[in-house]
Amino acid sequence: MTPYRSLFDLSDRRALVIGAGSGIGAAVAQGLSAFGAFVTCADLDLGAAERVRVGLEGPGEATRLDLTDSAQVAAVIGALPKLDILICTPAINVRKRLLELSEAEFERVVNLNLKGSFFALQAAGRRMAEAGGGSIVLFSSIRAQVVEPGQGVYAATKAGALQLVRALAAELGPYGVRANAIAPGVVETPLTAPIKAHPEWYRAYADKGALGRWATPDEMVGAAVFLASRAASYVTGTLLVVDGGWTAVDGRFTPPL
């Protein structure tokens, strides 16, 4: 009989969380630790990663990692005793219309969101394929599916990263490696903090979803733990949408039914 109670148990797993210093990455690192994983908290800000590491329920470590540096990504992943779970969360956005975006701004977003994701997927994929298994979870976005003015390049990188995940799932399935993506809706993180300074904008985003509010980073943990665990042993190449109904609701007007 399948030991269903143990499906989410990560006590024998080693996880690397890239972007663990704040926001969704910090919450996911804490969540994986709570389910028993040994967590390596990686972030460009080593101090932030260390603060998250100290707050873990179980054992862990902190390391500095620049996701845009392919050699550093490969070195950090290669130095781990083993790698069962990779969670990759970092992203940036430059909110400008496409006709106003500079080449430097375009490259800045692409270099982290798409190119950096590729570095992590490639290095972790190689390590897991050699070991004969593992789970890769990349944080994409609802912007991989829907877009609005000022989000063009960000959306393109999130859609591109999703396709990288799907390709990796197809290529590494025979090696027992699963690759999936999570698409959050609007989440209160450092990336979205500037929107809070505009109450009408903030409220409009809240009203767009079926639940009428923003998400908190801890509400992304369940999806990440699921995809990382044995509970998702037959789930690969998919996009798990955690958006409070954003992509299900058509428009902001509620008709008088």
What is the separation, in whole angstroms, between the first and last Cα of the chain?
Answer: 49
Q: Is 45 exposed, middle or buried (0-12, 13-18, 19+ CB in 10 A)?
A: middle
SS3 91: coil
Indicate the pTM of the whole model.
0.95
Q: How far apart are CA 165 and CA 178, in angstroms?
A: 9
CA angle 242, 198, 205 (to 5 degrees): 25
Residues, the chain, total?
Answer: 257
Beta bridge partners, 187, equal: 215
Asked whether 90 and 18 are in contact (CB, 8 A), the reply is yes
For residue 48 the two structure tokens come to 């932030």
Q: Is 4 a catalytic residue?
A: no
CA 240, CA 231: separation in Å to the nearest integer?
Answer: 14
Q: Are 168 and 184 in contact (CB under 8 A)?
A: no
pLDDT tens-digit profile, the chain (257 residues): 788 999 999 999 999 999 999 999 999 999 999 999 999 999 999 999 999 999 999 999 999 999 999 999 999 999 999 999 999 999 999 999 999 999 999 999 999 999 999 999 999 999 999 999 999 999 999 999 999 899 999 999 999 999 999 999 999 999 999 999 999 999 998 878 888 888 899 999 999 999 999 999 999 999 999 999 999 999 999 999 999 999 999 776 665 65
3 state DSSP class of 37: coil
Which of 17, 47, 234 has its CA nearest to residue 137? Answer: 17
All domains in the chain, ordered by first residue = 7-242 (3.40.50.720)
Burial class (CB in 10 A: 0-12, 13-18, 19+), 128: buried
Tell me which of 154, 175, 202, 205 is the catalytic residue: 154
How far is it, in rounded angstroms, from Cα 161 to Cα 141? 10
